[in-house]
Chains A and B, each alone.
Chain A
Amino acid sequence: MTKSKELLADSVGTTHLLLANEAIARGTLEAGVRLVALYPGTPSSEIGNNLFSMSPHIPDFYFEFSTNEKVAMEVAGAAAVAGVRSMMVCKGPGLNVAADPFMSLAYVGVRGGMVIVVADDPSMWSSQNENDSRYYSLMANMPMVEPADPAEAKSMLLEAYEISEKLELPVVLRTTTRVNHSRAPVEFGPIRDRPKQVEFQKEPFRFVPVPAVARTRHPWLLEQIEKAKTISQSTDLNFTEGEGELGIITSGVAYNYVVESLSIMNLDAEVLRLGMTHPVPEDMIAEFLARHPKTIIVEELEPFLETHARRIAQLRKITVDILGKEQGYFSRTYEYSPRIVMKGISDAINRNTPTEWETIEEKVRDLPDIPPRPPLLCAGCPHRASYYAIRTATRGKAIYPSDIGCYTLSIAPPLETADILFDMGSSITTACGLARVTGQDVVASIGDSTFFASGLPGVANAVYNQHPVSLVVLDNRTTAMTGHQPHPGTGLTGMQQQVEPLDIAEVCRGLGVQYVKTIRPFDSVADMVKEVREMVEWVRENQAPAVLVSREPCALLTAAERRRTGDYPPQYYVDPEICNACKRCLNRLSCPAMYQDPDTSKAVIDETLCNLCGTCVEVCPQGAIKQKEE
């Protein structure tokens, strides 16, 4: 609705309440970014969602949902090499996918400014690991900045483009989930014009790193990072505040927790806040350590700044107690909070934590057990029907490689159809490895967006090497988990143009898969059970890969469409006269819209939650679940 309109407003000096991700989307306008390419990934997703809504309204601007992060890095990297400002956005594991071009980009450098936004996910709210992307900057020798809040997310983005153009190097803007999903007032600055076109100036002995070229570029890169140290030493992004004998070095949102903790603990300390964290300001840190014989390092995840501080202290022969993760005062896992930071600081200076916590905990200890509420497939999710069919057809005995998407939630009982997962696209390839050494049936599943992102090489591999694997492509017509972005199978582009969609079944046939079928799980779950069984038997007989496309739109898309049109099918209900409380629907489907009547033990459908898929109708052996008359 109006958020993208708000972000487009040419209203300098006005204040807007924005998520950091929205502030970054706004920042692309103020930085005059000509091209943005990304593959969606939470916690960075809202950046792309907003640019998608904004893109047709920005002159001389190009935005795309690339097929994956490696592709996005290359598209954006080339645009910056050509001479315009560009941006690539990804989540932490997305940078792993894009690591190859990332490393080379540092060698060849860029002519226009380029910023790579990478959103790490401490606590793994929606990621398969919490790898600390700061080490990528260190490894590639690419400068890095780390904002702590939405206002800084935008201001540092603008600063990052300046640094990038000064050094002719891409700059990493690294965030964490807590920053991406913080909302705060942000002041708008002027929108900068973008060039319509630039002419590509050839310079192959810079931009084609064959060995002879690469050997000249590595020393160049090291020279640039030396220049970057000078910037880090003088930039306002790194600053000290407060006074005290105790020193604290911190960065990102941990800085806010430190300030809040000092206030609550009534503790005096001087804080060195690092906004530019690669390269670190060596002299500044050395002087700070020399001033504070006791210095605590507060940073989430790995001891990145801590290791730098220890290195600098050793090099400069500074005698200082550096207190952090190495001694166990702070954890290397999960995101921090004011409480965790208060505890760490208290332990490091041998002080008691604020006492009221114990009384709070005392009270909470007596609370009744609350049932856990993990994320689950939505009511009306087509994946529930598909997995019910897969499990029924294979009696739970096959191996079920899974992939990255909502459908990984099928790990939970009673569906239990996720047995192995590494990364995007690994369903197909792990299936290949498992099929070769186990002799068991292997039924892998992958979503439509993931299929295009990283599934294709796996399918080609399965065909080429003739792996006996069954693959179900769960085609829900969107990139659901990250907030419904389009993908090649939908045909809608980042510029909101409708082009010819890529057809998954045709793509599989084109790649040489001999057995390809498409089914609608909501047409008949029983038919899908039959289809899965047939596919698995075909694979056994033919010792080659087979694909079943299970095509049904995401329940949230269907619900939104119904809200738009006002056209609802009749409600489902359990007829208590017929229901014999066998609980098969409850035990087999685990649908959030169903529960048990506490008195009769019969199933009940919560009409306010039901998304009208009708899967339960087929699962009920009594025929007790019915649809109301119109």
Chain B
Amino acid sequence: MKDSYDIIFAGVGGQGLMLLSAILGKAAVDADMEVLTGEQHGLSQRQGSIYVHFRMGKPISPLIPYGTADMMIAMEATEALRYIEYLRDDGVIIMSNRIMPPPGETEEVALDEERKTKYVTVEAIEKKLREITENIVLLDSLTLAKEAGNPRTENSVLIGAVCSCKDFPIETESVRKAVLDLVPPKTRDANSRAFDLGRDAGGECLG
């Protein structure tokens, strides 16, 4: 019935979701696939929750129907939970273990004199996600990005991990080429290393 490979990206405004969408889009177009995305630009970039619906193959509309996404890429762990209803059963989740507590949450934690209100933890998020799927790649993306030589290459870590998924429809080297074409030239080497680190880490998680 479905003739497209659908990915939902989730993250926080400013994390570079639009660039990620452009990179995978370029890789898909270079591989002669059709692409259709639904993105969020504008006010939502101010530290807000954002998503991108990314569809390739023969997509019909810019939004993924509920419960049919093949993959989720989450650049921030709590944001993975926020859009989880789009993922199909046993879909793949590529996610960062990074948590950026929204100030509203901090306020609730800070105002609770009895200290019963706690921040949401990665462990709690992962536990819940495992009820939906076992195919989870949980990455320490910041550490890997630093290891690659530039803390701003977290997204390349995640894209590398995407390529470790067996049913991902684009060749790894095509994706790497799109990454290197679209990141700032000065950061190409670090991004390439980040990509490899992510791919290796992803491969280990998915077996």
Interface residues of A (CB under 8 A from B): 15, 17, 19, 42-43, 45-46, 125-126, 149, 178, 181-185, 253, 256-257, 259-260, 263-264, 266, 337-339, 342, 356-357, 360-361, 363-364, 366-368, 370-379, 406, 409, 412-414, 481-483, 583, 586-587, 590-592, 594-596, 598, 601, 606, 608-609
Binary A-proximity of B105-120 (CB < 8 A = 1, otherwise 0) = 1111111000100111
Given A357-B67, A596-B106, does the pair A126, B128 have CB atoms closer than 8 Å? no
CA distance A414 to B107 in the complex (A): 9
Contact in complex: A373, B110 (CB < 8 Å): no
Contact in complex: B22, A17 (CB < 8 Å): yes
Contact in complex: A338, B48 (CB < 8 Å): no
Residue B177 at the chain A interface, CB threshold 8 Å: no
Contact in complex: B104, A372 (CB < 8 Å): yes
Q: Which residues of chain A are near B48, meaning CB under 8 Å?
A: 373-376
Contact in complex: A370, B115 (CB < 8 Å): no
Q: Which residues of chain B are near A608, meaning CB under 8 Å?
A: 142, 151
Q: Which residues of chain B are near A125, meaning CB under 8 Å?
A: 40, 42-44
CA distance A376 to B13 in the complex (A): 10
Given A367-B84, A378-B14, A592-B100, does the pair A185, B35 have CB atoms closer than 8 Å? yes
Contact in complex: B46, A409 (CB < 8 Å): yes
Find the residue from A45, A363, A366 having the highest chain B CB count within 10 A: A363
- 6 tightest Cβ-Cβ pairs between the two chains A and B: A42-B42, A375-B48, A256-B61, A371-B105, A126-B43, A373-B49
Q: How many Å from the CB of A417 to the closest CB on chain B?
A: 16
Q: How many Å from the CB of A570 to the closest CB on chain B?
A: 17
Q: How many Å from the CB of A502 to the closest CB on chain B?
A: 26
Contact in complex: B62, A375 (CB < 8 Å): no
CA distance A142 to B128 in the complex (A): 53
Q: Which residues of chain A are near B85, meaning CB under 8 Å?
A: 360-361, 364
Contact in complex: A374, B104 (CB < 8 Å): yes
Given A184-B34, A374-B102, A375-B45, 10 other A-B residues pairs in contact with their CB atoms under 8 A: A17-B22, A178-B38, A181-B41, A183-B21, A256-B61, A371-B104, A372-B49, A373-B49, A376-B46, A586-B106
CA distance A376 to B48 in the complex (A): 7
CA distance A257 to B12 in the complex (A): 27
Contact in complex: A185, B29 (CB < 8 Å): yes
CB proximity to A under 8 Å, residues B58-108? 60-67, 78-79, 81-82, 84-85, 100-108
Residue B37 at the chain A interface, CB threshold 8 Å: yes
Q: Which residues of chain B are near A590, meaning CB under 8 Å?
A: 103-104, 106-107
Contact in complex: B63, A257 (CB < 8 Å): yes
Q: How many Å from the CB of A182 to the closest CB on chain B?
A: 4
20 contacts between A and B (CB under 8 A): A43-B42, A181-B38, A182-B36, A182-B37, A184-B37, A185-B34, A253-B61, A256-B62, A337-B63, A337-B65, A338-B66, A363-B131, A367-B84, A370-B82, A373-B12, A374-B48, A375-B48, A376-B47, A376-B48, A598-B118
Interface residues of B (CB under 8 A from A): 1, 12-14, 21-22, 25-26, 29, 34-49, 60-67, 78-79, 81-82, 84-85, 100-111, 115, 118-120, 124-125, 128, 131-132, 142, 151
Q: Which residue of B lies closest to A365 (CB)?
A: B85
Q: Which residue of B lies closest to A412 (CB)?
A: B104
Given A256-B62, A587-B107, does the pair A375, B36 have CB atoms closer than 8 Å? no
Q: How many Å from the CB of B19 to the closest CB on chain A?
A: 11
CA distance A587 to B112 in the complex (A): 12
CA distance A482 to B46 in the complex (A): 11
CA distance A256 to B64 in the complex (A): 11
Q: Choose among B42, B47, B100 the residue that contacts A126 (Cβ–Cβ < 8 A).
A: B42
Contact in complex: A17, B25 (CB < 8 Å): yes
Contact in complex: B42, A482 (CB < 8 Å): yes
Given A256-B60, A609-B100, does the pair A126, B44 have CB atoms closer than 8 Å? yes
